[in-house]
Structure 1
Amino acid sequence: MGFSLRGRASAADAVPRPVEATEVTDNEATRVGVYLFALALFAVGAGIVTAAWAAAAGSVDVLTAVVAVAVGLLAAATVRVAPQWERVAILRLGRFSRIAGPGPYVVVPFVDYAAMHIDHRIMNSSFSAEAALTADLVPVDVDAILFWMVWDAKKACLEVENYPKAVLRSAQTAMRDAIGQVNLADLSLRRRQIDRELQEVMGAKCEEWGVTVMSVEIRDVKVPPELEDALSKEAQAERERNARTILAEVEKDISEMFVEAAEVYERKPVAMKLRAMNLAYEGAREGKGILLAPSGLADGFDLGKILED
């Protein structure tokens, strides 16, 4: 009798693990209350008809059940409820009547109908521009996220067929136009500027649809794999060139300092002897008391000669 690896893994998986910071749990608002309200109206309408029929006729038959169901459906279709974040476009005989909600509202059955339920909260939509050409004709894939909201439900319902799809299509077009105006090298450096330009362009276009663009944020820019290697080599070559330039400038500064020191030593020989003494001291300290130096270096220790000079 033995234990399999599958059984051990299952036992380990049963232990609760902490949720990472990057994980996002679903916390969306629901419309369950709206459905429960409609169900309650249906039950109340059907119950009233059934109770009244039973009190009048003394019994309940199939006709009573049919009438009760019809009245219940009529009550649920007449009085409705819209959540706080929702607006409802009501059409009467095909013409725009009003914007209802939030809260309860009444429609006339077979005359009024809800054409569209419009969410007034801030929406976030991801979109991408694939194979968009930069100004130097390099194809890139750009992923971005768009934050927007509807401020005029009437315009969103009447001015455009499908306003969420229209907003995304407009965002993709504006993104391609913005990328086509910059080079690949400037794309990563001007991301914030491109975000602001996209927000302005999108805001002016979507204003006619009753939509406000809050912000546009570029998340990722991908270049073709064959181009990544070339860009990496170019960046390495650029860094190597900069390093060599800096090294050459340092060597130039050091050589100039050596020339100035030589001029000082030539004008004042005592400075050369003091430097020799300093070198001897440093050599002795680093060599743990053992000094190995040419015999001419001992002249630097002749203080009398130094003072005569």
Structure 2
Amino acid sequence: MTRKKHGADASSSSPSPQERAPQTGARLETGRNRTSRNGAVAFTIIVFAAVCALVLACAQALAGGIGLAALVIAVVVGILAASSVHIVMEWERAVVMRFGRFNRVAGPGLVFTWPVIEFYTVRIDQRVAATYFGAEETLTSDLVPVNVDAVVFWMVFSPKKAATEVEDYVSAVAWMAQATLRAAIGRASLAEVACRRDQLDAELKEVLEAKLDGWGIDVIDVEVRDIVVPRELQPAMAAGAIAARERDARMTLAEAEADISDMLKDASASYAGDPEAMRLRTMHLAYESVKQSGGTLVIPSAFSEGFVPEGGEKA
């Protein structure tokens, strides 16, 4: 069976867990207007008013007047008509129940239901939703309390499951994500949580996908936004990090010195059997020194005599 993955519900009648749970970061506000259902509500009101007016007009034509009974009948018929004709937005799906049992998923567009015997319990928003959640003062495996703030992007691919398998799937996603985050932090050390954030994201996504699939919800992505260590632990952790960096620097310097000593040994072995090569190397070093300092180099005559062949004349 192919999943229809379109989006997820971003609203709920009950307070969301991210509003009740303590957070380490603030929610991002984009300033962009949300879509509304004002047009669908206006359509329902218009249907109600039109049917009421039609019933009252019929009563006026048949009875020659509008009495209390006609008003009551007009209101009842208007309510039945308004509850039978619905507008479902493009991003929504209506879960229609008949006598309390699941009947069909309807929408988008104009949806008709039988009065009294059919009704739809919920409109499932199938757009992508972002749920913010956090884990405050959660202990890592090395017993360090951290505050972690994250966000999960999810969507409903099965309106039927989302309506029938879980009472409030929006809150359930937030609570499940928070519990999964706490469990993942408890299995890792502070260094793993801080340095292996991508692995933590992947682990959270895999676990949430497995748990939310039965509710008709698909997890698109999980992102850890912030990891905060308590202020009183920050100086000790900073000192430990500095000590670790100094140790690494000293080890690197020692390794470089060892490499240099090996190369010097090889060079000394090469120059040991060739005195003229040694003199040329010495002159080259002297030339480089003079070139960099811009001074004058005085070469002793005994040094230059080393380049004259035996029995030959000086140039």
Give, in whole Å, the separation in 1 of the partners of 2:295 and 2:159.
91
- TM-score under structure 2 length normalisation: 0.77
Task: List per-residue Cα deviations over 1:261-280 (Å, max 9, x = no partner).
Answer: 44455433323433343344
Give, in whole Å, the separation in 2 of the partners of 1:227 and 1:256.
44
Q: State whether residues 81 and 115 of structure 2, in contact with CA within 8 Å, keep that contact through their aligned partners in structure 1.
A: no
Give, in whole Å, the separation in 2 of the partners of 1:187 and 1:280.
55
Aligned to 1:212: 218
Question: Equivalent of 1:271, from 254, 277, 299?
Answer: 277
- TM-score under structure 1 length normalisation: 0.79
Do the aligned partners of residues 45 and 180 (structure 1) sit closer, same or farther apart at CA in structure 2, a change above 3 Å counting?
same
Aligned to 1:4: none
Mapped pair 1:241 → 2:243: no
Q: Secondary structure at the match of 2:219?
A: strand
Question: Equivalent of 1:300, from 286, 299, 303?
Answer: 303
How far apart are residue 64 of structure 1 and its match?
Answer: 5.2
Higher helix content, 1 or 2: 1
Aligned to 1:90: 96
Aligned-partner residue type, residue 43 of structure 2: F
Q: Secondary structure at the match of 1:147?
A: strand
How far apart are residue 237 of structure 1 and its match?
Answer: 1.2
Aligned-partner residue type, residue 41 of structure 2: Y
Aligned-partner residue type, residue 308 of structure 1: E
**Which one scores higher on RCO, CA 8 angstroms, separation ≥ 6?**
2
Task: List per-residue Cα deviations over 1:109-163 (Å, max 9, x = no partner).
Answer: 4443332222122222111122222221222221111122222222222222211
Task: Between 81-90 and 100-109, report the one with greater CA deviation.
Answer: 100-109
How far apart are residue 23 of structure 1 and its match?
Answer: 6.8
Structure 2: runs of 5+ lacking an equivalent: 1-27
Q: Secondary structure at the match of 2:120?
A: strand
Aligned-partner residue type, residue 237 of structure 1: A
Q: State whether residues 138 and 185 of structure 2, in contact with CA within 8 Å, keep that contact through their aligned partners in structure 1.
A: yes
Q: Kindly, what percent of the aligned residue pairs are identical?
A: 43
Structure 1: runs of 5+ lacking an equivalent: 1-21
Task: List per-residue Cα deviations over 1:203-226 (Å, max 9, x = no partner).
Answer: 222222222222222222222222
Q: State whether residues 277 and 300 of structure 1, in contact with CA within 8 Å, keep that contact through their aligned partners in structure 2.
A: no
Give, in whole Å, the separation in 2 of the partners of 1:279 and 1:93.
100
Aligned-partner residue type, residue 220 of structure 2: M
Give, in whole Å, the separation in 1 of the partners of 2:215 and 2:81.
34
Give, in whole Å, the separation in 1 of the partners of 2:103 and 2:288.
97
Aligned to 2:170: 164
Mapped pair 1:197 → 2:199: no
Do the aligned partners of residues 77 and 253 (structure 1) sit closer, same or farther apart at CA in structure 2, a change above 3 Å counting?
closer
Question: Equivalent of 2:144, from 138, 152, 177?
Answer: 138
How far apart are residue 56 of structure 1 and its match?
Answer: 4.1
Task: Between 98-107 and 52-61, report the one with greater CA deviation.
Answer: 52-61
